[in-house]
Amino acid sequence: MTRKLTPTRKLTPTRKLTPTRKLTPTRKPTPTRKLTPKQEHFAQAYVATGNASEAYRQPQS
């Protein structure tokens, strides 16, 4: 004898999915900021060495 399985309750989503923020078609570009001399030196040293720890340890001139 086979038993017919029936669900005990109806599955419904618990909450409605809504977008987290509305996108506007025209967004103003964010202003670019210049690097400080210390940041500039680190970036140049990192590109030269490829090692962040070593670039951080190099003395600034």
Q: Is residue 57 part of a domain?
A: yes
Given a contact cutoff of 8 angstroms between Cβ atoms, the answer to whether 45 and 53 are in contact is no
Residue 45: closest CA among 61, 31, 29, 33 = 61
pTM of this structure: 0.48
Q: What is the pLDDT of residues 7-36, one digit of tens each?
A: 677 766 666 666 666 666 676 777 888 999
What domain range is 58 assigned to? 34-61
The token pair at 35 is 């690097």
Domain count, the chain: 1
Q: Is residue 5 part of a domain?
A: no
Residue at 60: amino acid letter: Q
Q: How would residue 60 be classed by pLDDT, with cut points 50, 70 and 90?
A: confident
Q: Is residue 42 part of a domain?
A: yes
Q: Is residue 22 part of a domain?
A: no
Q: How would residue 39 be classed by pLDDT, with cut points 50, 70 and 90?
A: very high
Q: Is residue 9 part of a domain?
A: no
Give the Cα-Cα-Cα angle 27, 43, 39 (nearest 5 degrees). 75
